[in-house]
A and B are shown apart, each in its own frame.
Chain A
Amino acid sequence: MKYLMLVCVDPDLPDEEAPGSPDIEEWVRDTDAKGIRLIGNRTRPGSDATTVRVRNGEVLLTDGPYAETKDLIAGFDVLECADLDEAVEVAARHTMAWNGVIELRPFWVDGDDD
């Protein structure tokens, strides 16, 4: 099962890193070696984002992030895991689970109903 792992900052947390936070390089090495992490990267902040909408056939661009996501998204990874328990275990070892918040979204699978 594939999960999109949205890596987000938590504005309510203090700036300093939580004690005992895991190392991100090690997380990447480990999940890559196990074939769990298919792709992933940090993303530039919302000030570098462009929002795209097509309305009445016209492409409308906005400088900046979609209002709802603001500056929350800091990066993403795509995980291939046996089930949600494994995905949770992998996410919990990511430094941003300690210093931010991680959302796991299962991929839509062909044949899924709404």
Chain B
Amino acid sequence: MGDEAMSDEVTRGETARSKTAHSETARELIAEIYADGWSRIVATMIRFTGGNWDLAEECAQDAFTQALRRWPAEGVPRQPLAWLTTAARNRAIDHMRRTSTEAAKLRQLAAMETDPPNSPSPSYTSDSEIPDERLELMFTCCHPALNLDAQVALTLRALAGLSTADIARAFLVTERTMGQRLFRAKQKVAHAVIPFRVPPAHLLPDRLPGVLHVLYLLYNEGYSDQQHKARLGVEAIRLARVLAALMPDEPEAQGLLALMLLQDARRPSRIDADGELVTLEEQDRSLWDSARIDEGTAVLERALRRGRAGAFQIQAAIAACHATAPSFTTTDWAQIVGLYDELEKVTPSALVELNRAVALSMAQGAETALPIVEEITASGRLDGYYLLHATRADLLRKLGRDAEAAESLQAALELAPTEAEQRLLTTRLSHRPPSG
């Protein structure tokens, strides 16, 4: 192993293509491998380092950095994934040589060096019943000795390669808080020696909630950034399908698939021709994917017949109300309020309360909903969340309290995560005559 072996492989992989085409292809290929192979390389490295997740990620990252530097100039190696894995391993060995506390682990490594050095891909064999490697790795990550949030955050970071900032946004916490949570989770993995091992079939249900949340957050990540991360959404739906087929008796797995399908059906109308975000109220419903709506509704109905409605089924039911409504105003808002009541019982949170308040304002008017939003605002529970302030602004405007509305709008604008969302807020909230 070592650099010589890798250069050798690069030379063998050289082709006659021109240098520019070469470097273009190399970069595209690296992006592709990153999307497909990141989780596999990190998983291999977690095992290789004896459970040092930080080091595993760092080495995987380093391997890709090396590839970006070398492949465009030197050519793409014949077995790119094996090259990256070797680079990551070399980096890990260097690190462990330098760190005295890792010396013992290095001795263990000697025993693990039984993989054939030129195996085409990281050795990965398993006789588990999970028919998809990436899903299997997610179940491996979501160890129930970690709390649910820690399972989900660790999996998103290590396997999906999401940044700490992305994960923080998904959990509505600051990047600093998420960084600390990830740190603590990795510390527990290391200190308690939580193994990175594919769980047997009878332990899968214990780990299902973590995996469901991972898939849903991945889906959302893709949904909210169609331009750069659409692939995540497609992959999340694919994995949700595999999972729903693997665990037909788990209604929440079916519920998650239904929720994704129903939400995804509305995706084509979410961004207009100019690339601007369009609110649910203004979306062109004729663009909605009726096949997806039918499929999502059917999956949801089958799940609900089992009589164990969990958070994903309830959210899917809410999405179904929207997806099957002929227009925004004729939506069955009363039923949506009722469903949020149910959701609050299962997973109480300030976010659920806020969404319920929005539905309530449609069902019964802004004056009924405003006190709830005021209560959430006063509690400070969603202080950093721009939609809390945007919702408050919207309700205040409807009640003719324009000065206060303008203040809230300002707060929302300052917190909005992207420019597209800022523009949407500006057009939607500032140029609208008071109504209702």
Residues of A whose CB lies within 8 Å of any CB of B are 1, 82-85, 88, 104, 106, 109, 111-113
Contacts and interface: CB of A to CB of B under 8 A. Distances in A.
The 7 closest A-B pairs by CB, nearest first: A111-B101, A83-B195, A83-B193, A1-B193, A106-B192, A84-B194, A84-B192
B193 A88 contact: no
A107 to B, nearest CB: 9
A112 to B, nearest CB: 6
B145 interface: yes
B144 to A, nearest CB: 9
A84 B188 CA distance: 11
A106 B101 contact: no
Contact of A106 (B193, B195, B197): B193
Which of B187, B193, B194, B195 gathers most chain A CB within 10 Å?
B193
A104 B197 CA distance: 19
B306 to A, nearest CB: 28
8 contacts: A82-B193, A82-B195, A83-B193, A83-B194, A84-B195, A106-B193, A111-B101, A113-B187
Contacts of B195: 82-85
A84 B101 contact: no
Which of A83, A88, A109 gathers most chain B CB within 10 Å?
A83
Nearest to A1: B193
B305 interface: no
B202 interface: no
A65 B197 CA distance: 40
SS of B interface (majority): loop
Given A84-B145, A88-B145, 5 more contacts: A82-B195, A104-B192, A106-B192, A106-B193, A113-B187
B107 interface: no
A93 to B, nearest CB: 16
B191 interface: yes
Interface in B170-208: 187, 191-195, 197
A112 B197 CA distance: 23
Nearest to A108: B191
A109 B195 CA distance: 17
Interface in B98-120: 101
Contacts of B145: 84, 88
Contacts of B194: 83-85
Contact of B191 (A82, A88, A106): A106
Contact of B193 (A84, A111, A113): A84
Contacts of B197: 83, 85
B123 to A, nearest CB: 20
A85 B197 CA distance: 9
Interface in B126-167: 145
Contacts of A112: 191
Nearest to B196: A83
B193 to A, nearest CB: 4
Interface string B268-304: 0000000000000000000000000000000000000
Nearest to A2: B193
A111 to B, nearest CB: 4
Nearest to B197: A85
Contacts of B101: 111
Contacts of B187: 113
A99 B123 CA distance: 43
Which of B145, B192, B195, B197 gathers most chain A CB within 10 Å?
B192
Contacts of A106: 191-193
Nearest to B195: A83
Contacts of A85: 194-195, 197
Which of A1, A84, A88, A111 gathers most chain B CB within 10 Å?
A84
B126 to A, nearest CB: 16
Interface string B50-89: 0000000000000000000000000000000000000000
Interface string B91-103: 0000000000100
B253 to A, nearest CB: 24
A19 to B, nearest CB: 20
B96 to A, nearest CB: 13
A1 B187 CA distance: 15
A3 B163 CA distance: 33
Interface string B192-231: 1111010000000000000000000000000000000000
Nearest to A107: B191
A82 B194 CA distance: 10
Contacts of A109: 191
A88 B203 CA distance: 13
Contacts of A104: 192
A111 B52 CA distance: 14
Contacts of B192: 84, 104, 106
A111 B191 CA distance: 11
A55 B193 CA distance: 36
Contacts of B191: 106, 109, 112
